[in-house]
Structure 1
Amino acid sequence: MILRPDLAIIADHVAPGARVLDIGCGDGALMAALRDRRGVDARGLELSAANVAAAVGRGLAVVQGDADTDLAGYPDASFDYAILSQTLQTTHQPHVVLDHLLRIGRRAFVSFPNFAHWRVRLSLLWGGRMPVTRLLPEQWFDTPNIHHLTVDDFRAFLAVRGVAVEGAWFLGSGRPRSAAAANLMAEHAVFLLQR
């Protein structure tokens, strides 16, 4: 199974045999890869009933739930990693969700689309409308993204909250991009965080 590029980065950096909570796990593609390739004990939380059914159909331990409301019930440090891929920008209170991630997991992976990518900027400049791109395919009125963040926004957000960045990866067209120009050149960002 071929993983989305941000998920492949996460899969490559999760320690074998770890306990993982994948929040917003979708159909469980990452969880299945972690289980099959790394011997990981993976659990998932997913909002969509159809995605929960697909993940359970893969033999995965996934429950239906909402990152905004259901993370408070998880005990402190109950997982080695808490993962939030392409989900932070869809939450109502990203700061609360991030606090829970870092409380539940000893480390946390967060990936998100970078709304400062040059194609997004160009679309706004020339078209004057919210961009629709290959990686942001929904119209403004139909997108699940309610918080549009950039790589630089996220770095500042972490600094204010005192969160340590253990690793960061940036992707453009599915390929690695330099950290130096990530805010302009990266379509996606992946951060490994620790308190």
Structure 2
Amino acid sequence: MTLRPDLAIIADHVARGARVLDVGCGDGALMAALRDTRDVDARGLELDAANVARGVARGLPVVQGDADSDLAGYPDDSFDYAILSQTLQTCHAPDRVLDELLRIGRRAFVSFPNFAHWRVRLSLLWGGRMPVTPLLPEQWYDTPNIHHVTIDDFRAFLSRRDVAVEGAWFLSRGTRRTDAGANLLAEHAVFLLRR
């Protein structure tokens, strides 16, 4: 099974045998890869009922829940890693969700689309319309993305909250790129965080 590029980065950096909570786990692709290749005890929380069913059909412990409201019930430090992949920008209160991730996980992976990528900027500048790209395929009125975060916004947010960055990876067309100019040139970002 081939993982989405941001999920592959996360999978490569999760320690063997770790306990993981994948928040917004989709159909459980990352959880299955971690279970099968890294002997990880992975749990999932997913809003979409069809994705919950797909995860459960794979033999994964996935429950239906909402990142905005259902993380408070998890005990402090109950996981080695809490993962929020391509979900931060869909949360109603991403600041509170990040606080919860760092409370229940000793470390947190967060990945998101970079809304400052040059194609997004160009679409707004020349067309005057919200961009529709292969990575952001929805129209403005049906997108789940309610917070348009950029790499530089996220870094400033982490700095104000005294969150340490243990690792950061940037992707363009699924390929890793350097940190240089990432806010303009990277389509996606993946961060490994800790308090």
Alignment of 1:33-44 (within 5 A): 33-44=33-44
Matched, 1:8 2:4: no
Q: Which residue of 2 aligns with 1:117?
A: 117
Matched, 1:48 2:40: no
SS where residue 160 of structure 2 aligns? helix
- Deviations along 1:51-76, one digit per CA (max 9) or x if unpaired, are 00000000000000000000000000
Task: Give the distance between the partners of 2:14 and 2:42, measured in 1 at CA.
Answer: 11
Q: Which residue of 1 aligns with 2:68?
A: 68
SS where residue 54 of structure 2 aligns? helix
Alignment of 1:71-150 (within 5 A): 71-150=71-150
Task: Give the distance between the partners of 1:182 and 1:60, measured in 2 at CA.
Answer: 35
Gaps of 5+ in 1: none
Q: Which residue of 2 aligns with 1:25?
A: 25
SS where residue 43 of structure 2 aligns? strand
The TM-score normalised by the length of structure 2 is 1.00
* Offset at residue 178 of structure 1 (A): 1.3
Percent identity over paired residues: 83
SS where residue 12 of structure 2 aligns? helix
Superposition RMSD on alpha carbons, in Å? 0.3
- Deviations along 1:35-94, one digit per CA (max 9) or x if unpaired, are 000000000000000000000000000000000000000000000000000000000001
SS where residue 45 of structure 2 aligns? strand
Task: Give the distance between the partners of 1:149 and 1:18, measured in 2 at CA.
Answer: 29
What amino acid does structure 2 have at the position aligned with 1:102?
Answer: L
What amino acid does structure 2 have at the position aligned with 1:10?
Answer: I
Alignment of 1:172-183 (within 5 A): 172-183=172-183
Task: Give the distance between the partners of 2:164 and 2:10, measured in 1 at CA.
Answer: 17
Q: Which residue of 2 aligns with 1:165?
A: 165
Q: Which residue of 2 aligns with 1:59?
A: 59
Task: Give the distance between the partners of 1:55 and 1:101, measured in 2 at CA.
Answer: 21
* Offset at residue 177 of structure 1 (A): 1.1
Gaps of 5+ in 2: none
Task: Give the distance between the partners of 1:3 and 1:39, measured in 2 at CA.
Answer: 17
Task: Give the distance between the partners of 1:135 and 1:165, measured in 2 at CA.
Answer: 25
What amino acid does structure 1 have at the position aligned with 2:137?
Answer: P
Task: Give the distance between the partners of 1:108 and 1:34, measured in 2 at CA.
Answer: 15
The TM-score normalised by the length of structure 1 is 1.00
Task: Give the distance between the partners of 2:38 and 2:135, measured in 1 at CA.
Answer: 28
Would you say how many aligned residue pairs link Structure 1 and Structure 2? 195
What amino acid does structure 2 have at the position aligned with 1:37?
Answer: T
